[in-house]
Structure 1
Amino acid sequence: MGTRPLSEFQDADLLMVPAIWRQPQRVLRRHAEQIRVIEQHIEADRLTISVGSGSFLLAETGAMRGRSMTTHWQWFDAFARRYPAVNLERRQLITQSGAVFCVGSVNSVADLMIYLCGEIFSQRVARHIESQFSPEIRQRFSPSPLGSPRDLHPDELIADAQSELMKDLRVPLCIPKLASMLGISSRTLIRRFKSATGVTISAYLRERRLDEAQSLLRRTNLSVTEVGSTVGHPDPSHFTRMFREQTGLTPTAYRAAVRQKAFEAIDSST
């Protein structure tokens, strides 16, 4: 299915608004055109789902006044201050108000999808789909932050820098180029980045590359060489050495360990 512009979005059966990376207010200011599309969808009483901080976009429409919503726990207070007319359900991971569902934790998306499959198709279909989920994926009472603690800071320019770094982890770090894109000097970028995140730019990028490598090793069948190339380490030997230095395991040993854990969890539940 090809990507289509937002202007062509109409008469859809389902609208899912994903979690917003970092500061939701930035998206509200920069992408006001999205608010009207979401408002029209809600007013048409079509199925609408927000995940985590994506609920800010739904609330911003004004169509959720007096209705129940939830959001990611990290943003409870900010959400309540900005939308006092919305009934914020802090104790609920999933809320429903008519055709609008809000999921507070990414981990709860699977629970909602299974529920909707039962409503739209049948309970038999829902049970079959549920059986395919690993117990490690469905941990509904273990909400986790959307992103690293290093991402939770108020410096929006550094947030833009982090976004650029994450666009393609294969791209070698070039601080002068990044600074030029942001309209500041390399010295200012280095200083503000360390002040906002607590680590250097290279250390931050190293952490994010490791995070992505671990995720790919857990969830995909890509070879170790392919995983390394995807996160900016095309030399398999260098990638293996880097991974072992940071985790104590080789990529192959890490993959075997986490998958064995998942299989043991499945076996114990049967």
Structure 2
Amino acid sequence: MAVEPVVYGASERPPRGDYSRARDDYTCAQDWSAYTAQDHDTYHRLYERQSAQLPGLASQAFIDALPSLGAKERIPRFDDVNERLTRATGWQLVAVPGLIPEVPFFQLLAERKFPVTDWIRQPEEFDYIVEPDVFHDLFGHVPLLFNPVFADYVQRYGEGGLKAARLGACEMLSRLYWYTIEFGLIREDGALRAYGAGILSSAGELPYAVRSPEPRRLPLELLRTMRTRYKIDSYQQTYFVIDSFQQLFDLTAQDFAPLYAQLQGLPEFAADGRD
């Protein structure tokens, strides 16, 4: 079966990544030997910049787990990370050539396999890239997969995604992913911290999300979150806040089918969260 790339957001160029390398499930081998010295330098500089910002802004659970990625001076071999990750929570990383369709994505998550794009941005994209690359996926997402409760939530999300696909509700469920796994905030010891990968891998959005008076921050509530649209080409105007990863896991224990039916008759909220 020939696999096709997925378009992410508004871009004038087609998605990058060699999809001819992909298997039927969209995974591929990480061609670690293909990384250049420049690629490793880009990863190292991105890692140094982001890790320097984490204290006082990032979830302590994320900070504690970050060293599990291994040496920061080069792009990690996924197999090396997997030796530690599988022991910790039963997850493993799988390489993909780029963004993949919803159902294969959900299936991988349900199997405790996290898809990681294996290419890295060019130096001229150091500050901003439209599509997620290996730095975003590794640095932003993988550390919290070492947290047992959060890791279970991501698997449960994948299982829920397969059900949502059968019910035609992927768009509504995608908003939960966006506002938790990508752009979620958490209260730790009474202070606001970031745990979403899109925030943690962004030099500008990390301090903005946690400290700026501009965005609206709301308690995470499923109906509200699934009704709120989002933007991919600017900082978020709305963030949803949880009190613990256990709260997040418990919220998703219910059957979402009645929620989807209820959402069909409700108006949506704009990305700024206004009524």
- Whether TM exceeds 0.5 here: the answer is no
Kindly indicate which of the two structures has a greater share of residues assigned to helix. Answer: 1
Select the structure with the greater relative contact order (CA < 8 A; seq sep ≥ 6).
2
Q: Highest CA radius of gyration, 1 or 2?
A: 1
TM-score by length of 2: 0.25
TM-score, structure 1 normalization: 0.25
